[in-house]
Copies of this chain bind each other. A is one copy, B any other.
Amino acid sequence: MSPVRIALFGLGPIGRAAGALALSRANLEIVGAVDVDPRLVGLDLGRCLEAGRDLGIRVTADADEMLAVVRPEVVLHCTASSIERVAGQLRAIVGRGAAVVSTCEELSFPWLDDHPEVAELDELARALGVAVLGTGVNPGFAMDTVPLLLSGAAQRIDHVSVSRVQDAAARRLPLQRKVGVGISVEEFEARRATIGHVGLRESLHLLAGGLGWRLERTERTLEPVIATAPATFGETVVDAGRVLGVHEQVRGFVEGRERIVLDLRMYAGAPDPHDAVEIEGVPDLRLRVDGLHGDLCTAAVAVNCVAAVLRARPGVLTMLDVPLVSASLGPLQPRPTAGPTSP
């Protein structure tokens, strides 16, 4: 069996981590790489991925040409969180007949805001026989796919509660900024519209969709977690009274009752990082996972979904539509991972 030919679209932290992981997998072959950053364009991909060797693949800003020339089977797409921003990129990829695994958060449940681009992309993907999947560890795994699988063992479900605690200090800098580590409470309030995690709403709808519940109403709260004493995280110092990160909740209501709550705490120094699911029903089910590190696992879920999109039906899909995602290590053990994904 020859390896699956993949291309990397977007070489930010997540794209590079996914690329380095793909490089370690004998069942994948990287054949192209796209990024618009002028500091990367023209470099050998091996340097971007800190692979310790040249790969003979130059990073290009010309996605169309790369897609036309090297014709990847699957594109690992890691550029932006909003469907509006990535729709043109996805159309170009799908238009060349390649399947997509994207870490675009909004794409994990793309039917939420009636984006006309999604319906068009779905039509194109069906016409060309390829699948487009938005995924990652969150949204895409920890707060939607995992509770959904657990629900598979339930006879009746009265309520689902999902919580995720992540220590933002253990995460990459862009994420720390996204959750406001070190800013003042006033700045938090001023930036409220853009701060926090993109994807909780998507997870809520994915979860409700998988359970067959039509949400009548949703609620969202977002609060800063504030340092009560000065705290030091590597080179970052957060004074007392300043922001450590966020506590975000979304709730879904069916027939007037709260049925789902997703609770996300992502702040520097958060104790006991873990994921938990509680299903109240018949029987009551409780699940806890330790180790779902946001950066490492987003790269892992994305790369592990390559096999799933190849086996899935064509169209714009969610994690509800693809076969069970597993590590898909192929007949050989993956080569040891080098570069930025190593712990």
Contact = CB atoms under 8 A, between A and B. Distances in A.
B327 A154 contact: yes
Given A152-B300, A300-B154, A324 B320 contact: yes
A166 interface: no
Contacts of A150: 289
B320 A320 contact: no
Contacts of A310: none
Contacts of A255: 333
A96 interface: no
Interface stretch (A34-42, A52-60, A176-184, A209-217): A209-217
A293 B284 CA distance: 10
Interface in A150-182: 150-157
Contact of A322 (B148, B289, B324): B324
B326 A323 contact: no
Contacts of A151: 304, 326-327
Contact of A324 (B148, B284, B333): B148
Contact of A141 (B141, B152, B296): B152
Count the copies. 2
Contacts of A305: 152
A287 B150 CA distance: 12
A138 to B, nearest CB: 10
A290 B286 CA distance: 5
Contacts of A343: 282-283
Interface string A286-321: 111111110011011101110000010000000111
A145 to B, nearest CB: 6
A137 interface: yes
Nearest to A257: B333
A328 interface: yes
B324 A212 contact: no
A24 interface: yes
A305 B152 CA distance: 8
A318 to B, nearest CB: 9
Contacts of A311: 321
Contacts of A326: 148-149, 151-152, 210-211, 320
Nearest to A157: B327
Given A155-B296, A282-B342, A321 B323 contact: yes
A155 B320 CA distance: 22
Interface of A: 21, 24, 27, 137, 141-142, 145-146, 148-157, 210-214, 254-255, 279, 282-293, 296-297, 299-301, 303-305, 311, 319-331, 333-334, 336-337, 341-343
7 contacts: A150-B289, A151-B326, A153-B304, A211-B328, A212-B331, A283-B297, A319-B324
